[in-house]
Amino acid sequence: MPSATINPTRQELNRLKTRLRTSIRGHKLLKDKRDELMKQFMDVVRENRALRKRVEEGLMRAHGAFTVAAALMSPEMLEQSLLYPKQSVELDMTFQNIMSVDVPQYQFRTSSQDPGEVYPYGFAQTSGELDDAVDALSRVLSDMLRLAEIEKTSQLLAEEIEKTRRRVNALEYVKIPEMQANIKYITMKLDENERSNTIRLMKVKDMILKEAIEERQAQDARAVRAFGSDGESPAEV
């Protein structure tokens, strides 16, 4: 349905036609973008699920060992053992561009490469379960960082896909049909105007002709009255 406020002029028609061309092109591009984003997103989400499962399992194991350690040691001892970490993690963040979405990529470095270096305490006064817990945690750490990267990526991609999908649908089902209807309305209106103009001209022409004929007849009648009242034709006079 064309909107009520539309001007049926040639200028408006040209404007609408340009906009329609742009919209159709934009729609095609956005659709391609959506499809590609979706493809990337599916890969990311699959990895996300697998990774999350692995991290949760690893963390549950670590928590289990930690709970046992906490039961065997006094809370003060436990806290004291972990108070000053030997290891530190340095994190760098760069951005990768997936279809105009900036997603983070983390590079991390632990201060020491030796896996035995993660225990920040002496082994004499702590229970073995604490070692297990810290060991399990340090093994799950790289997966956790990867999970952070993947999960953030999937969230950002999901947002972008949602936006793009809305745009594609708005163009496809609202904007483009509306413009086409408007163009049709204007074309019809202009054609109608043209026809009515032609008809009007024809009418005017008819009227002028009729007037001319009537005038001519009146002239003839006057001539007949003046010269041939006795019935002879003017040619014989």
Site for other proteins, rule CB under 8 A: 38, 41, 45-46, 48-49, 52-53, 55-56, 59-60, 62-63, 66-67, 70, 78-79, 82-83, 85-93, 95, 102, 104, 106, 110-111, 118-120, 133-134, 137-138, 141, 144-145, 147-149, 151-152, 154-159, 161-162, 165
Contact partners, residue 8, CB within 8 Å, separation at least 6: 185, 186, 189, 190, 193
Count the residues in the chain: 237
* Whole-number CA gyration radius for the chain: 44
- Nearer to other proteins among residue 72 and residue 82 (C-beta): 82
In the bound complex, what is the minimum distance in angstroms from residue 179's beta carbon to other proteins?
26
Nearest CA-CA partner of 147 in 24, 41, 56, 16? 56
In the bound complex, what is the minimum distance in angstroms from residue 25's beta carbon to other proteins?
24
In the bound complex, what is the minimum distance in angstroms from residue 172's beta carbon to other proteins?
15
CA torsion 175-177-180-186 (nearest 10°) is: -80
In the bound complex, what is the minimum distance in angstroms from residue 4's beta carbon to other proteins?
33
> Cα(237)–Cα(222) distance, rounded to whole angstroms?
15
In the bound complex, what is the minimum distance in angstroms from residue 33's beta carbon to other proteins?
13
> Cα(75)–Cα(96) distance, rounded to whole angstroms?
44
In the bound complex, what is the minimum distance in angstroms from residue 26's beta carbon to other proteins?
21
- Nearer to other proteins among residue 85 and residue 128 (C-beta): 85
- Nearer to other proteins among residue 16 and residue 161 (C-beta): 161
- Nearer to other proteins among residue 30 and residue 147 (C-beta): 147
In single-letter form, the type of residue at position 33 comes to K
Residue bearing tokens 């697998």:
50
Half-sphere CA count of 109, side-chain side, radius 13 A: 4
- Nearer to other proteins among residue 11 and residue 88 (C-beta): 88
- Nearer to other proteins among residue 19 and residue 52 (C-beta): 52
